[in-house]
Amino acid sequence: MLNTFFSPIYTSTSDLNATIYLICSVASLVLGAVIAWASGFRSRQSKSFSLALLLIPVIVQMVIMLVNDNVGAGVAVMGAFSLVRFRSAPGSAKEIVSIFLAMATGLATAKGYLALAAVFVVVISLIMVISTFVKYKENDDLQRELKITIPEDLNYAHEFDDLFRKYTKQTKLMNVKTTNMGSLYKLSYLIELNSEDEVQAFIDDLRCRNGNLEISIMIPAAEDRVL
Please compute, for residue 78, the number of CA atoms within 13 A of its CA located in the half-sphere on the CB side: 8
> For residue 207, which amino acid is it?
R
Question: What does the pLDDT read at residue 92?
Answer: 74
82 domain residue, yes or no:
yes
Question: Are 101 and 196 within one domain?
Answer: no
174 domain residue, yes or no:
yes
Map the chain to HEC letters.
Answer: CHHHHCCCCCCCHHHCCHHHHHHHHHHHHHHHHHHHHHHCCCCCCCHHHHHHHHHHHHHHHHHHHHCCCCHHHHHHHHHHHHHHHHCCCCCEHHHHHHHHHHHHHHHHHHCCCHHHHHHHHHHHHHHHHHHHHCCCCCCCCCEEEEEEEEECCCCHHHHCHHHHHHHEEEEEEEEEEEECCCCEEEEEEEEEECCHHHHHHHHHHHHHHCCCCCEEEECCCCHHHEC
Question: Are 16 and 127 within one domain?
Answer: yes
Question: Are 178 and 154 within one domain?
Answer: yes
pLDDT in tens, the chain (227 residues): 556 667 888 877 777 788 999 999 999 999 999 999 999 888 888 888 899 899 999 988 888 888 776 656 666 666 666 655 545 555 677 888 898 899 889 889 988 899 999 999 999 999 999 988 877 655 567 889 999 999 988 888 888 999 999 999 999 999 999 988 888 999 999 999 998 888 999 999 999 999 899 999 998 865 545 44
Angle between helices 71-86 and 47-66 (to 10 degrees): 160
Question: Are 122 and 147 within one domain?
Answer: no
Question: Are 129 and 149 within one domain?
Answer: no
226 domain residue, yes or no:
no
Question: Are 153 and 114 within one domain?
Answer: no
88 domain residue, yes or no:
yes
Question: What does the pLDDT read at residue 224?
Answer: 45
Question: Are 70 and 46 within one domain?
Answer: yes
97 domain residue, yes or no:
yes
Q: What is the pTM of this model?
A: 0.64
Question: Are 93 and 121 within one domain?
Answer: yes
Q: Which of 101, 133, 165 is the last residue of a domain?
A: 133
CATH number at residue 176: 3.30.70.240
224 domain residue, yes or no:
no
* Cα 119 from chain centroid (whole Å): 24
Question: Are 159 and 124 within one domain?
Answer: no
Please tell me the total count of domains within the chain.
2
35 domain residue, yes or no:
yes
42 domain residue, yes or no:
yes
Who's near 220: CB < 8 A, 6+ residues apart? 143, 144, 145, 190
Domain that residue 211 falls in = 143-219
Q: Which of 133, 168, 191 is the last residue of a domain?
A: 133
Q: Which of 133, 152, 184 is the last residue of a domain?
A: 133
Q: Is there a contact between 225 and 165 (Cβ–Cβ < 8 Å)? A: no
Question: Are 122 and 170 within one domain?
Answer: no
Question: Are 186 and 110 within one domain?
Answer: no
Question: What does the pLDDT read at residue 136?
Answer: 62
Question: Are 100 and 153 within one domain?
Answer: no
How far, in Å, CA of 177 to CA of 184, rounded?
A: 9
